[in-house]
């Protein structure tokens, strides 16, 4: 069920980026058309809404952890797999980081190709490590660039929604 939700969330995020929209309107329309359980749709909606809400912070974190790549040079699908998994790792901490990373790799295999999963695995593991030790990441970020981890990057979804 959760893998299917993540798959639907990825498809909706892809559509959202193609339409250049951060609105949930298109995503809700997409979810309404699916013939699946309400539980699957609800989890997909949580993932979509959170990823769109925190996209700016997620993209900042991803840029810090991409070696020799630029976020905007990645395919739409890979970029949104990374965003979706980053949201789960940093803001929607219901699943272990191993599960989230493995699910992202499976999405790569389902939607892209086998060669992209290495990049996704590497970036997400770095992101997880950074979230586990923000002080180290902050000091390394200051050495390597002018970007550092901000409180917004590590604030959980639960704290922001009350």
Report the alpha-carbon distance of residue 29 to residue 16 in Å, rounded: 11
For residue 97, give the 3-state DSSP assignment. helix
Phi, psi of 21 (to 5 degrees): -135, 140
pLDDT band at 139 (very low <50, low <70, confident <90, very high): low
pLDDT tens digits, residue range 47-78?
Answer: 999 999 999 999 999 999 998 889 989 999 99
Q: Could you say which DSSP state residue 7 is in?
A: H
Q: Could you say which DSSP state residue 95 is in?
A: S
| Domain containing residue 125 | 2-161
Q: pLDDT value at position 161?
A: 33
Tell how many helices (H) and how many strands (E) occur in the chain. 10, 0
CATH number at residue 95: 1.10.940.10
How many domains does the chain contain in total? 1
Say which residues have a Cβ less than 8 Å from residue 42's Cβ, sequence separation at least 6: none
Q: pLDDT value at position 131?
A: 82
pLDDT tens digits, residue range 83-131?
Answer: 999 999 999 888 889 999 999 999 999 999 767 888 899 999 999 988 8
């Amino acid at each position: 069920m959760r893998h299917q939700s993540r798959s639907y969330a990825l498809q909706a995020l892809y559509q959202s980026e193609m339409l250049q929209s951060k609105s949930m309107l298109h995503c809700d329309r997409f979810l309404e058309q699916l013939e699946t359980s309400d539980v699957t749709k609800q989890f997909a909606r949580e993932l979509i809404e959170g990823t769109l809400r925190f996209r700016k912070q997620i993209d900042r974190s991803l840029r810090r952890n991409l070696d020799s790549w630029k976020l905007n040079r990645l395919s739409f699908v890979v970029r949104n797999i990374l965003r979706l998994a980053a949201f789960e790792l940093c803001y929607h901490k219901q699943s272990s980081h191993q599960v989230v990373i493995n699910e992202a790799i499976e999405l790569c295999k389902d939607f892209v190709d086998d060669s992209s999963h290495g990049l996704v695995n590497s970036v997400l593991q770095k992101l997880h490590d950074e979230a586990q030790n923000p002080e180290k990441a902050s000091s390394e970020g200051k050495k390597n660039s002018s970007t550092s981890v901000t409180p917004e990057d590590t604030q959980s979804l639960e704290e922001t929604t009350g």
